Every structure is written in C-alpha cells, then in structure tokens.
C-alpha cells in the first residue's frame, strides 16, 4: 500500500496542545462531513512526515520519531514502538510512519470502533 498523499490541510500547523477537540476534528475533516475517518487522519500524518524529519534526511531517526510523539507516555515508549514499526537498518520510511499511524488510529484513537475519530476520542488522545 502506498502512503496517502498529503493534503493542503497537512501543510498547516498540526492540531495539538491548545487546540480544542472541535477545532481538531474540523481541521482534519477534509470532506466536511463532521467526522474524521482513517484516511483523513493518515493523509494528515503522511503530510506531517516532512515536518517530523527535522534533518531532511528522507527518513526518521529514533530521536525524530520520539520527538513527534505526543505526551509523556508516547515519548517513553517511542524507542520500543519505533522498533515495532521499522524494519531493517537506517531511518524509518514514510510508509512505516503511516503504518504506525494506521495502527494508532485503529487501536488507540477509535475507541468505540466506529471507524471515525470523535471529539471525545481526540480529547482522550491528548490527555494520554
């Protein structure tokens, strides 16, 4: 599977700390149906790859990956998580980054398993 292509929204600053759940959902909801589905989330994350790759090497080091993780828990587990989603030597590829975020969406974000990220699910993610 090829990585989703970045959207215009992906070039904007990422929703995160200081952004309300409603703002985050509105930002990520590119088809304006008031829901964020997996592809909208993955398209955003594919676009973030270049921002996270701070040394512009075309791949992510463990440090870059760790620095991109929200919250204390994500940063504490970053090295182990990096190893689970990165195969081989060298930096993490964009496809591996997207694969990681696909897993995050399915297993962490979409708590009610309805296929969408709600405002409540966004709030829980930011509180982790």
Residue 88: CB atoms within 10 Å:
8
pTM, two decimal places: 0.80
Supply the pLDDT for residue 88: 85
Q: What is the 3-state secondary structure (H, E, C) of 52-118?
A: HCCCCCCCECHHHHHHCCCHHHHHHCHHHHHHHHCCCCCCECHHHHHHHHHHHHHHHHCCCCCCEEC
Distance CA 87, CA 38 (A): 23
Q: Write the pLDDT tens digit of every residue in 75-113.
A: 788 889 999 999 888 999 999 999 999 999 999 899 999
Q: Write the pLDDT tens digit of every residue in 15-66.
A: 555 788 889 899 999 999 989 999 999 999 999 999 999 999 999 999 999 9
| CA–CA distances in Å: residue 3 to residues 30, 48, 54, 58, 125 | 17, 12, 19, 14, 23
Q: Is 9 exposed, middle or buried (0-12, 13-18, 19+ CB in 10 A)?
A: middle
Half-sphere exposure of 74 (CA within 13 A, CB side): 17
Supply the pLDDT for residue 17: 56
Looking at per-residue confidence, does 69 or 106 come out higher? Answer: 106
């Amino acid at each position: 599977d090829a990585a989703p292509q970045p959207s215009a929204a992906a070039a904007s600053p990422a929703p995160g700390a200081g952004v309300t759940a409603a703002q985050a959902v509105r930002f990520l909801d590119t088809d304006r149906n008031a829901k964020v589905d997996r592809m909208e989330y993955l398209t955003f994350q594919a676009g973030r790859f270049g921002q996270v790759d701070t040394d512009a090497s075309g791949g992510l080091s463990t440090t870059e990956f760790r620095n991109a993780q929200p919250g204390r828990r994500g940063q504490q587990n970053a090295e182990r998580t990096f190893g689970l989603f990165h195969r081989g030597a060298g930096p993490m590829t964009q496809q591996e980054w997207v694969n990681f975020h696909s897993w995050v969406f399915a297993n962490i974000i979409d708590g009610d398993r309805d296929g969408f990220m709600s405002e409540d699910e966004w709030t829980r993610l930011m509180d982790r």
